[in-house]
Structure 1
């Protein structure tokens, strides 16, 4: 449909990774609708170039910030003020209807049926079900609505300092007026809520259509081991994410996004996978080249304990030669 679109927002290069996976998941399940991404000036030129290969429309927008440090402090998420930039999505007036999806979401099947819903349709928030979660919602672009939202933000602010508080305040009748605007939770399954109500997830989780990686730790904040299919958070965050969904995200990232990043010469940091493989290769080469008096198991154990022979076999020059050889 040329007049309907899935819309997301990327405010920096990290969130571009999420936006790329989101688009890939929508394409994977053959959506018939346009894909639009709003980007701020903080997104690099190289990443914008990659976005243009995946999205039908890459639209630059200005940053809106609530500056509401008091309310954001309650959530311990001061970075969320910039999420007000999301309301730029109402300016996409060339589209008759849109579905906004946060860049930390991923679809698990075709969800084009959402375009049959009316504004503002959204799923309940797991933290306060009388509020909707603004990670996925159906809306109708309108410059008039955009201006009203700006006015509302200026006059009344947001009760959480971010877009969710603003939108729930503006669309205040969502909780009580029309149950048809309440999307089933499977359209915005919070990855962290799985563990707060595990029995429900076991009963209904197989019907999930969209997974939302809520919380501070995002999929791209994890290190992924391609051999064990295990992930480990790079942040000091205890948030638990269902490994099945996290692995699905990384499968898309490694198979569909890394080739794009590599093709464009984006920093190799983009794949923690490669880093882990290189580290393992260097270790194995060092083990294989070690004196016969030391077994490979003992050599590896010494490495893992930090007992490295810096003056001998494990000197900087030797490691550099081995690493160069591996990369070649």
Structure 2
């Protein structure tokens, strides 16, 4: 329908890469909805031109910042204050219904059925399931809702300093009132939660429709090494991102997005160091190998106690099994 749209927010040029991959994945899976991206003034003009190649509308919006440094400090994510700019999505009143998706998500299949849901429909947050995760949600644009949200954030702020805390306060009945507004987890599958409940991921992960790359390290923060044909993190990725999903993101980026960046004269992509055609040829053979620092046994124990388990490394099931076998023998 012409009056329904998928909406995202690209707060800076690096996040534009994510938005381009998201939009390309929606196009790839034949969405019938409009695609809209919100950008603040600091997004470069060259990147906006590329966005116009994928999105039906590129709308420049003012930056809303919670300036709530105390609450943001609790999350150790001060950059999330700018995500309140997401509230501008309620001003898109030319659309009767929208689905907002963070720029660090990617769709694995057609998800147009989300528009059958009502406001505010969202999936549980893996860290606190009585709250919804604001990375994917169905909503109805309304200037009144926009005004009420601004009033709430001015009067009470956000309990996490970002949009998720604010939206969960505003739509506080989500947890208890209407189960039909609870999206299945497959519509907002966190790459981090995969390793907190690995058996469930193995059982149901094949049904995933939307993957959300939560955490500080995003797919575009990885570097492609053409010599070893691996993707390496520029910083220590402790979120344990699923390699299969990283590979999927990079495949879309290299085959559909990077050619657009090259075509529009955007500076050589620093995340890859390769020309578009070089990546296109080799991406099918690449493997994902984020590097992890060697830690002491004391630090490893401390991480265990904090719930930070290296399920794919030293703390993998295979390694634990081998240790148990050695004791039994």
2:10 is the alignment partner of 1:5: no
Q: Does 1:162 align with 2:165?
A: no
1:124: how far off? Answer: 0.1
SS at match of 2:7: strand
1:60 paired to 2:60: yes
* Maintained 8 Å contact 1:32/1:112: yes
Q: Output the CA distance in 1 between the equivalents of 2:194 and 2:216.
A: 16
Number of aligned residues:
278
Aligned to 2:196: 196
Of 264-273 and 9-18, more deviation after overlay is shown by: 264-273
Cα deviation for residue 226 of structure 1 reads 5.7
Q: Is 1:261–1:270's contact at 8 Å kept on the other side of the alignment?
A: no
Structure 1, unaligned stretches of length 5 or more?
Answer: 279-328
Match of 2:206 in 1: 206
Max radius of gyration: which structure?
Answer: 1
State the Cα deviation string for residues 250-299 of structure 1 (Å, max 9, x = none): 00000001100111111103451518x99xxxxxxxxxxxxxxxxxxxxx
CA distance in 1, matches of 2:84, 2:29: 29
Matching of residues 1-328 of structure 1 within 5 Å:
1-225=1-225, 230-274=230-274
Shift in Å, 1:224: 2.2
CA deviation map 1:43-80 (0-9, x unaligned): 00000010011100000000000011111101100000
Structure 2: give runs of 5+ residues left out of the alignment.
279-329
1:229: how far off? Answer: 5.3
- How far the C-alpha of 1:235 sits from its partner, in A, is 1.8
Please give the per-residue CA displacement for 1:161-215, whole angstroms capped at 9, x wherever unaligned: 0000000000000000000000000000000110111000000000000000000
Q: Provide the rounded CA distance (Å) in 1 between the counterparts of 2:24 and 2:198.
A: 28
2:174 partner SS? coil
| Structure 1 length-normalised TM | 0.82
CA offset at residue 228 of structure 1?
5.7
Inter-partner Cα distance in structure 1 for 2:228 and 2:184: 34
- Quick one: distance in 1 between partners of 2:260 and 2:139? 31
Q: Secondary structure at the match of 1:131?
A: strand
- Paired residue for 1:303? none
1:231 is displaced (CA, Å) by 1.8
- Provide the residue aligned with 1:317 in structure 2: none
C-alpha deviation, 1:232, in angstroms: 1.3
CA distance in 2, matches of 1:75, 1:112: 33
TM-score normalised by L of structure 2: 0.82
Mapped contact 1:229–1:247 kept (Cα < 8 A): no
Aligned to 1:283: none
Distance 1:61 1:132, change over 3 A: same
Alpha-carbon contact 1:6-1:36 (below 8 Å) kept:
yes
Question: Aligned-residue CA RMSD in angstroms?
Answer: 1.6
Instruction: Decide whether the 8 Å contact of 2:220 with 2:271 is kept in 1.
Output: no
Q: What's the CA shift for 1:238?
A: 1.8
Q: Distance in 2 between matches of 1:229 and 1:150?
A: 47
- 1:225 deviates by 3.8
- Structure 1 distance, partners of 2:9, 2:274, is 28
